């Protein structure tokens, strides 16, 4: 199986072993085997936040696609990791439960949405999670209260300890279905108006730097990153933090992304961090650039006009 056939970004090569567990018990057993045999592995959900490299992966890949059960009991919704965000939000609407409308048309699966504490349209997953069941890197099944998981935006316990998010229990509340549906439609139309689904992408390539106070998309646009577009890799004409795959290999997308980061640093002295996760074998020629980190040296003269534009 070529991973590019199942990854959202349409990149990825072969892997030595692919697991697609049907439940948390099977997942636990497979991770125990991986751990005992010291096999390198990575988790691939929908891949909507990931760039899967194209070279052969000499390890295992854990897929979430068969972890897709969903159960509703009054205002409690229990969901396995492989359930997509949009169907989840629609189930909540059907049961007149509010709190998940912002997840409509948000690419990805529940497991990764919780793992990274996703946020958009005035919603954040931490606001509605009651508890999380995981499998540790040694195969141990664990349970956490939601309040113990989330540290901040794109910052959770699981990004530190490497646990596999297997099942999530949400605590929602009754709401007006017309209001819920209206917000869901707003989210859908807004994403479509920004042409986010024109070509495969991973969403935003870079995180926002809240100390700078300017969205990364604005920094990238003003730094002139669209000059880096080519036949196979296009920086979205509607949102400069989106990089479209128009038939490129993973390393070609990565090269353009690294050049984008350099342009922002050259003009603004802001060193952007990847939001895009890199999975698999990174080419030797790019490893140094991927691992590079530069000390912020903010150019306030260049940043000031953008701050004024953003604030008002």
Mapped to the 3 state alphabet, what secondary structure does 123-134 carry?
Answer: EEHHHCEEEEEE
242 domain residue, yes or no: yes
**Which of 63, 83, 110 is where one domain is finished?**
63
131 domain residue, yes or no: yes
Based on the fold, state whether residues 48 and 78 are members of the same structural domain: no
Based on the fold, state whether residues 159 and 112 are members of the same structural domain: yes
Domain of 166, in residue numbers? 70-193
* pLDDT at site 311: 87
| Of residues 152 and 27, more confidently modeled | 27
Q: Is the pLDDT assigned to residue 236 strictly greater than 90?
A: yes
pLDDT bucket at 13, cuts 50 / 70 / 90: very high
* Section 231-242 average pLDDT: 96
Sequence-distant (6+) residues with CB within 8 A of 190 are 121
**Which of 12, 45, 63 is where one domain is finished?**
63
* Section 281-300 average pLDDT: 96
54 domain residue, yes or no: yes
Q: Quote the number of domains for the chain.
A: 3
Terminal-to-terminal C-alpha distance of the chain: 50
143 domain residue, yes or no: yes
Q: Is the pLDDT assigned to residue 246 strictly greater than 90?
A: yes
What string of DSSP letters covers 84-145? BHHHHHHHHHHTTEES-GGGTT--SBHHHHHHTT-EETTEEGGGTEEEEEEE-TTS-EEEEE
In this structure, what CATH number is given to the domain that contains residue 8? 3.30.43.10
Comparing 83-87, 94-98, 304-308, the range with the smallest average pLDDT is 304-308
- Which tokens hold the place of 223? 């730094």
Phi-psi region of 277 (alpha: psi -120 to 50; beta: other; left: phi over 0): beta
Chain mean pLDDT for the chain: 96
Give dist(CA 224, CA 116) in Å, integer: 29
Based on the fold, state whether residues 99 and 161 are members of the same structural domain: yes
- Digit-coded pLDDT (tens) for 55-90: 999 999 999 999 999 999 999 999 999 999 999 999
In this structure, what CATH number is given to the domain that contains residue 138? 3.30.465.10
* pLDDT at site 312: 74
Q: Are strands 119-120 and 233-235 parallel, antiparallel or unpaired?
A: unpaired
Coil vs helix vs strand at 192:
helix
Element spanning 24, H or E? helix 24-36
User: In the chain, at which residue ranges do the beta strands (DSSP E only) sit?
Assistant: 15-19, 41-44, 50-52, 57-63, 70-73, 76-80, 97-98, 119-120, 123-124, 129-135, 141-145, 150-152, 155-156, 164-171, 173-174, 233-235, 243-245, 277-279
**Please, what is the Cα angle at 166 between 162 and 170, to 5 degrees?**
115
Give dist(CA 312, CA 298) in Å, integer: 21
198 domain residue, yes or no: no
Q: Is the pLDDT assigned to residue 210 strictly greater than 90?
A: no
pLDDT bucket at 50, cuts 50 / 70 / 90: very high
Based on the fold, state whether residues 58 and 74 are members of the same structural domain: no
Based on the fold, state whether residues 126 and 11 are members of the same structural domain: no
207 domain residue, yes or no: no
């Amino acid at each position: 199986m070529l991973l590019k056939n199942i990854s959202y970004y349409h990149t990825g090569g072969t892997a030595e072993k692919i697991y697609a567990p049907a439940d948390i018990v099977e997942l636990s057993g497979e991770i125990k085997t991986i751990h005992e045999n010291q096999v390198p592995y990575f988790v691939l959900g929908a891949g909507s936040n990931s760039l899967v490299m194209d070279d052969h992966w000499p390890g295992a890949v854990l897929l979430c696609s068969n972890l897709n059960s969903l159960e509703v009991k009054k205002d409690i919704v229990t969901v396995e990791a492989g359930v997509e965000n949009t169907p989840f939000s629609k189930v909540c609407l059907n049961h007149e439960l509010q709190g998940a409308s912002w997840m409509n048309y948000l690419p990805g699966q529940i497991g990764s949405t919780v793992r990274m504490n996703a946020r958009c349209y005035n919603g954040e997953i931490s606001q509605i999670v009651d508890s999380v069941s995981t499998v540790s890197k040694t195969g141990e099944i664990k349970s956490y209260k939601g309040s113990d998981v989330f540290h901040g935006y794109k910052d959770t316990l699981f990004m530190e300890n490497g646990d596999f998010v297997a099942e999530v229990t949400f605590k929602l509340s009754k709401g007006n279905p017309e209001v819920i549906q209206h917000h869901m439609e707003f989210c859908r139309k807004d994403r479509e108006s920004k042409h986010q689904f024109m070509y495969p992408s991973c969403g935003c390539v870079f995180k926002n730097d809240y100390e700078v106070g300017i969205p990364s998309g604005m920094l990238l646009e003003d730094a002139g990153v669209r000059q880096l577009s080519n036949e196979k890799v296009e920086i979205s004409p509607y949102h400069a933090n989106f990089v479209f795959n128009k038939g490129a290999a993973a390393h070609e997308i990565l090269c353009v992304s690294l050049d984008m980061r350099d342009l922002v640093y050259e003009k603004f002295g802001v060193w952007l961090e990847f939001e895009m996760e890199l999975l698999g074998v990174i080419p030797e020629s790019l490893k140094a650039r991927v691992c590079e980190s530069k000390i912020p040296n903010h150019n306030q003269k260049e940043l000031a006009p953008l701050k004024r534009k953003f604030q008002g």
